[in-house]
Chains A and B, each alone.
Chain A
Amino acid sequence: MSLGIEHYLILSGILFCIGMYGALAKRNAVAILMSIEIMLNAVNIDLVAFSRFLVPDAVVLTGHVFAIFVITVAAAEAAVGLAIIITVYGSRRSVDVEQMDVMRG
């Protein structure tokens, strides 16, 4: 059985679910960010797979362009997110998201 788009979509679905599990079930904020990076990677795999398999004998470049933008936004998100986490750690000595509840109503 030759490789089709289904293989890549299911692989990226597995990755996305692993990332979602980590992002929702972890208490450490850095671990949550790591899981979000896994989810973003899963979506990028999807985009690139669609751009490869939409036309059988060509690569449609729109998915690549979209993946590049996703990578750009992910880099910005990681930088700001980690800066926030380190700032919170500086004031509270903890990165446990269950203790970050100063804005609870």
Chain B
Amino acid sequence: MAEQVAFWVIAVILVGSSLTVVLLRDLFRAGLLLILCFFVVAALYVTLLADFLAVVQVLIYAGAIGVLLMFAVMLTRDLQHGNPFNRLNKGVLLLSLLLLAMIVGVVIGTDWPTYTEVPDIVEMPLQDPETGEAVQGSTSYIAKALFDPDNGWVLAFEIASVLLLAALVGAIVLLRRRENDRQ
């Protein structure tokens, strides 16, 4: 019961805040609402038993990306123009509503299967098979899934670190003040 109340409260706040992000003319307030949106998504992860991801969401999205977006908003203040829509506005709205109708139709029309077990993939049981207590925390299971020698994602993990390094160097190169710009 508590889970359902939490879900509906989260869903209302999430849809409302993300709609406001898109519709608001003041970009600064839109950015703040986007950070609220990130926090609420973290709460949604908690209802899905993804505690580690909820923490990551708060740290990376609400913390790092949120602050980065706010800095970008402040560094590119375009007060005369605000945050207008382009001339595709009506067509894109129609397209989005069509896509939404299609998604809702497919989701409701599909009989989502469930399985008793999935072979070769790390699972976190909701209850400890020996003691019968509820399992607390998904972090160690995520580590097992990520670094499993046979079915893990070690190579993808290393590539992700290279990608982050490349993004870091790229951002620095783009924003570095050129020597001949000084005068």
Contacts and interface: CB of A to CB of B under 8 A. Distances in A.
Interface of A: 2-11, 13-22, 24-28, 30-31, 33-35, 37-38, 41, 44-45, 48-49, 51-62, 64-65, 67-69, 71-80, 82-87, 89, 94-98
Given A15-B18, A35-B21, A61-B123, A54 B114 contact: yes
A87 B107 CA distance: 42
Contacts of A7: 7, 11
Contacts of B163: 72-73, 76
B68 A78 contact: yes
Interface residues of B, number: 88
A82 B50 CA distance: 29
B57 to A, nearest CB: 7
A30 to B, nearest CB: 5
B121 A62 contact: yes
Contacts, number: 257
Interface of B: 3-4, 7, 11, 14-15, 18-19, 21-22, 27, 30-31, 34, 37-38, 41, 44-45, 48-50, 52-53, 56-57, 60-61, 64-65, 68-69, 71-73, 75-76, 78, 81-86, 88-89, 92-93, 95-97, 99-100, 103-104, 107-108, 112, 114-118, 121-127, 138, 141-142, 144-146, 153, 156, 160, 163-164, 166-168, 170-171, 174-175
